[in-house]
Amino acid sequence: MTFTIPIENGSELKNAEADSQRTLYPYVTGTSVVAIKYKDGILMASDMGGSYGSTLRYKNIERMKAIGKHSLLGASGEISDFQEILRYLDELVLNDNMWDDGNSLGPKEVHNYLTRVMYNRRNKFNPLWNTLVLGGVKNGEKYLGMVSMIGVSFEDNHVATGFGNHLARPILRDEWREDLTFEEGVKLLEKCMRVLLYRDRSAINKLQIAKMTEEGVTVSEPYSLRTFWGFSAFTNPTAGAEGSW
């Protein structure tokens, strides 16, 4: 967005200093992130697709990153804004490390920081077009929270963004429990991602699962899920839904 500034002699000044840049709408976006607490820490899953509008343009985008020693961040929404958030967090972690006082930022502190950043940018009418999931483990305490693009935040035992908030959360409410093993947690996340693959046009069958424990973050290599597309509802998806057209 470019605007002009009038000056005293009635002419107008138009230059790069007067330019104001805004993300008016997202360009390249990632879809759902699903995360749960399990017996030993946090598990998080996302696919690797990046959609340019309705075109699945990129198929190798990592949307989960370790933050410091104790936190794991996942994001859906605009990829370039996610990269900007990662730059903010790199500076935050660097400044924290430079104190060299034996303390380090925990997931709750990072979550609160992200909430302030998102709300601040929203108040400037220049939001970062992301929904963020922040999980971590510090001193034996598991933490999992979410932040929306306007700064709305909460904590829960399981969270999901995008379509996952509508399609994965009901599954998690039914099947999640606090003493899930790693294998059971992965199986539950894969079930959620499979449903999203079937129902979300922006999802792709190439995903990663990240594990956060006291030992740190481990992100799996990309892999695909076994699927079945022979359901009758897929054969004729408009059956029974004919309208006035």
Domain ranges, ordered by start, for the chain: 28-225
Question: Average per-residue pLDDT in the chain?
Answer: 89
pLDDT at 22 over 90: no
Give the C-alpha distances (Å, rounded to integers) separating 55 from 49, 52, 58, 68, 153.
10, 5, 9, 34, 30
Task: Say which range, 6-15, 134-143, 190-199, 214-223, has the weakest mean pLDDT.
Answer: 6-15
pLDDT tens-digit series, residues 99-124: 888 889 999 999 999 999 999 999 99
pLDDT at 7 over 80: no
Query: Are 3 and 13 in contact, with CB atoms under 8 Å apart?
Result: no
In this prediction, residue 2 carries a pLDDT of 42
DSSP string spanning 10-59?
S-EE-SGGGB-----S-SEEE--EEEEEETTEEEEEEE--EEETTEEEES
Mean pLDDT of 79-86: 96
In this prediction, residue 236 carries a pLDDT of 78
Helices (H), the chain: 79-99, 107-123, 164-167, 169-175, 182-199, 232-235
Burial class (CB in 10 A: 0-12, 13-18, 19+), 193: buried
In this prediction, residue 16 carries a pLDDT of 46
In this prediction, residue 13 carries a pLDDT of 45
* Residue, of 91 and 2, whose pLDDT is higher: 91
* Residue, of 8 and 206, whose pLDDT is higher: 206
pLDDT at 238 over 50: yes
All residues at 6 or more sequence positions from 152 whose CB lies less than 8 Å from its CB, including other chains: none
Q: How confident is the model at residue 6 (pLDDT cuts 50, 70, 90)?
A: very low
Run of H or E including 135: strand 130-138
In this prediction, residue 1 carries a pLDDT of 44
Mean pLDDT of 66-89: 96
In this prediction, residue 5 carries a pLDDT of 42
Output the CA torsion 209→88→119→124 (10° steps): -130
In this prediction, residue 79 carries a pLDDT of 96
Q: How confident is the model at residue 47 (pLDDT cuts 50, 70, 90)?
A: very high
pLDDT tens-digit series, residues 154-180: 999 999 999 999 999 999 999 999 999
pLDDT at 18 over 60: no
Mean pLDDT of 223-242: 83
Q: How many residues are present in the chain? A: 245
Q: Could you list the active site residues?
A: 23
Q: Please name the CATH architecture into which domain 28-225 falls.
A: 4-Layer Sandwich (3.60)
Q: How confident is the model at residue 93 (pLDDT cuts 50, 70, 90)?
A: very high
Q: How confident is the model at residue 20 (pLDDT cuts 50, 70, 90)?
A: low
